Structure 1
Amino acid sequence: MKQDRAFALDSILNNPSSPWMDGSGNLADVVISSRVRLARNLKDTPFPHLLEEKEADQVLDRVFSAVDLIGPRGFGGEIIKVRLDNLSLLDRQVLVEKHLISPQHAESGFGKGLILRQDEAVSIMVNEEDHLRIQCLHSGLELDEAWILASGIDDLCDELLDFAYDERIGYLTSCPTNVGTGLRASVMVHLPALAMANEVSRVLAAVNKLGLVVRGIYGEGTEGQGNVFQISNQISLGQTEKEIIENLSLVAKQVVSEEKRVREGLFKNRRAELEDRVFRALGILSNARRMTSNEAIRLWSDLRLGVEFEMIPGLTMKDTNQILVLSRPNYVQRTAGKSLQPEERDTRRAELIRRHLANRKV
């Protein structure tokens, strides 16, 4: 059984694709994915940063035992449980690049665990900032679906673990901004047309004024990479889960509308420039012998826009989105099976992308 779980996790780490990145779902030409995350803590147990090693291990054991009782039926699919200290730092960083754990959770520490449904739609971080961080991911704008899945798993866990809850303010969390519902909902959007038209700052500033937070594709410090942005609620107190989901969905649809409006204008008025960018990106990605991660994600953005306009026969959204993962530094390093110097990594990255596109015959 342990060998089966190890094989399943290894398959996930080796695969640049994830079902939540397959280009399906509502408005998936702009919205890459929807995520719902719930912060939960065990009643009468100190927050993770206050735990001694033995206490953290006890929390992890309790959560793993509860997961065993819930089983695949409750989770909607086969699950993998893993102690993060049994994984190499490189493997933990690949999980970050696949958006399955946070950068904080990848850092060394005791009592840290991960529960992962094999299709990657559900993951639970154990002993991150809170005892449990329940995360559900869906392709496209599907916040309602992600919420239904997360809420169901939350209810099953609560029956067995007894979460810390105050009748007046709601769920108790390590960070004050998560107190209340403990809900952080987010959408990952691709806004290349707004960026080309120099309108992305205006649109995202308006989003901020509505009380939402905008971050880059891999969180703070990655703003603007690949013209991908994560939009999420800022606080979880004073609103119901339904209100948070509905508000974010409404704003996401407005952002999508703005992006599509500008895309139509570009296609009508600047088509030659647009096609040149798309096919220049395809040419470089298909032929380059060395490529940095920043160049790869910049060219990926132009390529994805071409796929959205159906300019490149034979290349699907799923194929294109895989480049996001297979071009990341830790994934590239893992495929090599050895430590790489920066120039070697750039060479390996270019090789992986060339091979990926050649297999699609584009």
Structure 2
Amino acid sequence: MAEARTPELSAERRPKSSPSGFPPDHVIQTRVDNPGDEESCDVCKELFDPILEDRHGATSPGRAPDRPQPRQPAGRRPPGPNYVLSSRVRTGRSIRASACPRTAAAAFRSSSSPWKPRRAWTAAWPRYYALKSRTEAEQQQLIDDHFLFYKPLSPLLLASGMARDWPDARGIWRNDNKTFLVWINEEDHPRVISIQIGGNVKEVFTRFCNGLPQIETLFKSKNYKFMWNPHLGYVLTCPSNLGTGLRAGVHIKLPHLGKHEKFPEVLKRLRLQKQGTGGVDTAAVGGIFDVSNADCLGFSEVELVQMVVDGVKLLIQMEQRLEQGQAIDDLVPAQK
């Protein structure tokens, strides 16, 4: 931001503001401080675009809101249950012209399930859990399923108002077999997640492509629209998720490669990123990393998922080499 915001640019932009009245000095605060103001991306694009280009390597839109969801599944799943522990594909959405997160929670409370169960008599109905009114048993079940999200503790998130009125209007919706869930107001208004044990990313992505349009239909039925523009695609809370908003990833065990000096460079060349399994700013435990696509902007959903599938295969190959005491220099890829 300091490099992009030159004195000349500041002087030119200072008199301007978005249609809803936000001046540039307010726009550059953490986006959550100004919920619903997607026009700021256009008003200050001379400032934002160089930063997004540096972060994503591109500035091009994601899927148009009325274009069909991608149906082409990614390639064959990564090998080795000893390496890939779980797989997920997720994205988020922001509700247009809404500064009140209760709208997202209301959409799910009013409909216990966008999908009817296969049998009306089944006891395993899809459910919406309101964090404000969950029972101790429900909370423990969400913890056991690794579905529960917690009140933000990061100073950045707290300063931006992410924990305002916590836990009001926060909740979790899940399907009957716990492979498709929606976080309500964790960071984005809805965050849609397809997840399962093992490395079958193709199956996870197919479920994601089938489920996301139904979530979008639910919100459209309540007359809610999502933030999207032709320049940046979907506008999410964090600029790192602009574009498609899609993040495909795996929890993968790489005890040898994770300690190798070339690991960060390999990830960079594959356009992947790593973090601990506990989320942002957490360290890997037991050599287990959360590896996902680094960019959401400039690629299609299918391209991003395939990038993760191909990259994970290479990481496993490198780990197997290192297990045998062999070098990996010849496997280091060119920059994607």
Which of the numbers 13, 17, 29 marks the counterpart of 2:82?
Answer: 29
Does the 8 A contact of 2:108 with 2:173 survive in 1?
A: no
Preserved CA contact (<8 Å) 2:107 2:218: no
- TM-score, length of structure 2 as denominator length: 0.60
Identity of aligned residues (%): 24
Aligned AA (2:267) = V
Aligned with 1:60: secondary structure? helix
CA contact (8 A) 1:105 1:112 kept: no
The match for 1:124 is: 182
1:109 Cα shift?
Answer: 2.3
2:105 aligned partner: 60
Q: Using the TM superposition, give the Cα deviation of residue 111 of structure 1 relative to its aligned residue in structure 2, in angstroms.
A: 0.2
Q: Structure 1 residues 66 and 147 mapped into 2: Cα distance closer, same or farther (>3 Å)?
A: farther
When the two chains are superposed, the root-mean-square deviation of aligned CA atoms in Å is: 3.0
Match of 2:245 among 182, 185, 202: 182
Kindly provide the CA deviation profile for residues 296-335 of structure 1, in whole angstroms up to 9, marking residues without a partner as x.
Answer: xxxxxxxxxxxxxxxxxxxxxxxxxxxxxxxxxxxxxxxx
Q: Aligned equivalents of 1:85 and 1:78: distance in 2?
A: 21
Cα deviation for residue 80 of structure 1 reads 1.6
Correspondence for 2:95: 42
Unmatched tracts of structure 2, length 5 or more: 1-76, 119-123, 154-162, 327-336
Q: 1:171 to 1:89 in 2, by over 3 A?
A: farther
Cα distance change of structure 1 residues 105 and 38 upon mapping to structure 2, 3 Å threshold: farther
The aligned runs of 1:1-362 (5 Å cut-off) are 26-46=79-99, 51=100, 56-66=101-111, 68-72=113-117, 78-87=125-134, 92=139, 95=142, 98-104=145-151, 108-162=166-220, 163-164=225-226, 165-194=228-257, 198-199=259-260, 201-265=261-325
- Give the distance between the partners of 1:265 and 1:118, measured in 2 at CA: 45
Shift of the alpha carbon at 1:45?
A: 2.0
Bigger relative contact order (CA 8 A; separation at least 6): 2
Superposed displacement of residue 173, structure 1:
1.2
In the alignment, the residues of structure 2 paired with residue 81 and residue 180 of structure 1 have an alpha-carbon distance, to the nearest angstrom, of: 28
SS, match of residue 98 in structure 2: coil
User: Structure 2 vs 1, CA of residues 178 and 93 (structure 1 numbering), >3 Å: closer, same or farther?
Assistant: farther
Question: Which TM-score applies when normalising by structure 1?
Answer: 0.56
8 A contact 1:38–1:150 mirrored in 2: no
Q: Give, in whole Å, the separation in 2 of the partners of 1:97 and 1:39.
A: 24
Contact 1:67 1:157 in 2 (8 A): no
How many correspondences in the alignment?
230
Which structure carries more helix by proportion?
A: 1
User: Aligned with 2:115: secondary structure?
Assistant: helix
What SS does the corresponding residue of 2:108 show, helix, strand or coil?
Answer: helix
Q: 1:120 to 1:44 in 2, by over 3 A?
A: same
Q: CA deviation at 1:186?
A: 1.0
| 8 A contact 1:185–1:245 mirrored in 2 | yes
Question: Which secondary structure does the structure 1 equivalent of 2:286 belong to?
Answer: helix
> 1:109 and 1:142, CA in 2 relative to 1: closer, same or farther beyond 3 A?
same
One-letter code of the match for 1:81? Y
Please tell me the residue identity of whatever aligns with 1:44: A
- For 2:194 and 2:110, the matched residues in 1 are separated by 21
Q: 1:41 to 1:63 in 2, by over 3 A?
A: farther
- Write the distance in 2 (CA, Å) between the matches of 1:250 and 1:32: 17
- Corresponding residue SS for 1:41: coil
- The answer for unaligned runs of 5 or more in structure 1 is 1-23, 267-362
CA distance, structure 2, for counterparts of residue 91 and residue 70 of structure 1: 21
Determine if contact 2:78/2:312 at 8 Å carries over to the other structure: no
Partner amino acid for 1:79?
Answer: P
Q: Is contact 1:60–1:112 with CA below 8 Å preserved after alignment?
A: yes
**Secondary structure, aligned partner of 1:62:** helix
C-alpha distance in 2 between matches for 1:186 and 1:104: 23
Contact preservation (8 Å) 1:105, 1:125: no
Residue 192 of structure 1: SS of its match in structure 2?
Answer: coil
> Does the Cα contact within 8 Å between 2:252 and 2:288 map onto a contact in 1?
yes
Change (3 A) 1:66 1:45: farther
- Measured in 2, the distance between the counterparts of 1:159 and 1:207 equals 36
TM-superposed deviation, 1:172: 2.1
The letter of the residue matching 1:139 is I
1:39 maps to a residue whose letter is G
The farther-off stretch of 30-39 and 58-67 is 58-67
- Deviations along 1:321-351, one digit per CA (max 9) or x if unpaired, are xxxxxxxxxxxxxxxxxxxxxxxxxxxxxxx
Cα contact 1:96–1:103 (8 A) shared by 2:
no
- Give 1:105 deviation, angstroms: 6.9
TM-superposed deviation, 1:265 = 4.2
